[in-house]
A and B are shown apart, each in its own frame.
Chain A
């Protein structure tokens, strides 16, 4: 009787250990959250003249840079 109980216990334990490998890790799809461009960079290459974190200031910086750098009609009309 005792040996039968111990055999059942061993079998139950072996089953539990064996089935533990059947668990599934969560697999999430999709991209990581990206920081906004106007939040600035952590390095020393940021252009001067605008405030990191201020969206309006960043937009004005890009607009001014685009006009000055690419619109040669305003520089040499």
Chain B
């Protein structure tokens, strides 16, 4: 297996917010926190495009680099997770993230800011897999249940793809070849590296 990745196909996304709803429901995310959201570019203008945005689980995650208490870790599958027992809610990760993924609940241990919450790629956290403690802090651990993230599995148009980087890249490539347009993958280069920018290639395996 390569590593877990997200792709949002802007040619298919219809801004239904099904992914947002699926995520909120699956993990019982508190009011005011959106681990995933749909952003529309050129809203109302003919040719507008929508993209579903959450933590992209970057190859070289800037949130991990700036965290002063080192609460982040990366799984063998390249999923970027964090330990809420270590997080101090400073918000540095929020400023570092190019996707605006880190969220801060208004009511939490640390008052107005609270401990950081973000997309876990439905992989839970450091608590025991599938335990109540893990669910209450991080939500469901669907990966350990042999399932893929709820947002992608619930996407009505299959615009949002999630899973093994090789698999989702193959699915997307096949689509682009068949429709002969829409090869741009928003956020892919930023999250996983871009050959054009002289960075690590997107399809390379996870570097531990």
Identify the A interface with B (CB < 8 A). 29-43, 45-47, 49-50, 58-59, 61-63, 65-67, 69-73
Contact = CB atoms under 8 A, between A and B. Distances in A.
A73 B148 contact: no
A58 B146 CA distance: 6
Interface stretch (B66-74, B110-118, B183-191): B66-74
B147 A42 contact: no
Which of B128, B130, B158 lies at the interface centre, i.e. has the most chain A CB atoms within 10 A of its CB?
B130
Contacts of A59: 1, 164
Given A41-B141, A45-B145, A73-B175, A34 B126 contact: yes
18 contacts: A29-B70, A30-B70, A31-B71, A31-B73, A31-B126, A32-B126, A36-B76, A37-B143, A39-B144, A42-B131, A45-B145, A61-B146, A62-B1, A62-B163, A63-B1, A65-B146, A66-B171, A70-B168
A39 B147 contact: no
B77 A69 contact: no
B130 to A, nearest CB: 3
A67 B174 CA distance: 12
Interface residues of B, number: 43
Contacts, number: 112
Given A49-B146, A71-B174, A66 B85 contact: no
B9 to A, nearest CB: 10
B164 A46 contact: no
Contact of A66 (B73, B81, B144, B148): B148
B152 interface: yes
B29 interface: no
Interface of B: 1, 69-73, 75-77, 81-83, 85-86, 123, 125-131, 140-141, 143-148, 152-153, 158, 161-164, 167-168, 171, 174-175, 178
Contacts of A38: 144
Contacts of B164: 59, 62-63, 66
Contact of A70 (B130, B146, B163): B163
Contacts of B75: 34, 36-37
A30 to B, nearest CB: 5
Contacts of B148: 62, 65-66, 69-70
B86 A37 contact: no
